[in-house]
Amino acid sequence: MNTEYLPKRPRRLLVVDDDTRARELLQRYLQEQEFEVRTAPDSKQMDKYLQREHFDLLILDLMLPGEDGLSICRRLRAHGNNIPIIMLTAKGGDIDRILGLEMGADDYLPKPFNPRELYARIQAVLRRPSRQPGHLSEAPGKMTFGGMEVDFSARTLTKPDGKVYSLTTGEFAVFAALLQNPRQPLSRDQLMTLTRGREQGPFDRAIDVQISRLRKLVEPNSAQPRYLQTIWGLGYMFVPDDAEVTEAPENR
């Protein structure tokens, strides 16, 4: 069957917010941007949708009745659900944003926000899985280092003991950017632009959180990184097996 001229399937979004007006406004706006949109007021309705339908992205409010957004995010990731998640947080809630990223959210947006910014964030997150640096290895889309194998098409990391770990879209985006530029320090702003399409804000610790999560996966000792190093005054750098380990006094 020739699929060249078949129309592309609209991306499907699930918005979880207990504010009825906010749900309706988001649904109307996102449908105007040619997304298919479902809405839910809480985790119970969200779970029903997720059980019977496929969604490309979840827009999740932090403050919800019953199970809150952080708990939902942690639960989904613990059960291996890597649906991209954009967390909506209260204005100025930097701690909540950091916690959201640590739980596995891919991006966040403080309320109140411009719907156009949400649209830009959605597009940036949905583009991330297409970054497949096949030139990193003879096997397309795969790379090995330290006895581990990274599969870029599946977004998985296989450890030396054979255990396979799925990467969230946020972790995958940061990891891919570093692996595509071995031995090249990348600043937080560069990583933010490469992975999120925007510059880093003055209190934006998203990159630091993602690096910390990745180090726990790939480093024998995350307190003394071997592969994902911090380069003082410059940023972060991926150091392959055949490269000399540099001193990085800011490693953390």
Spans of all domains in the chain: 12-129, 131-238
CATH number of the structural domain 12-129? 3.40.50.2300
pTM beyond 0.85, yes or no = no
For residue range 114-153, list pLDDT tens digits in order.
999 999 999 988 886 443 333 333 334 788 888 898 888 7
Q: Are strands 57-61 and 12-16 parallel, antiparallel or unpaired?
A: parallel
Q: Amino acid identity of 74?
A: R
pLDDT tens for 18-59 read: 999 999 999 999 999 999 999 999 999 999 999 888 899 999
- Reported in sequence order, the residue ranges of the chain that DSSP labels E, i.e. its strands, are 12-16, 36-40, 57-61, 85-90, 107-111, 142-145, 148-151, 156-158, 164-166, 228-231, 235-238
Assign domain 131-238 to a CATH class.
mainly alpha
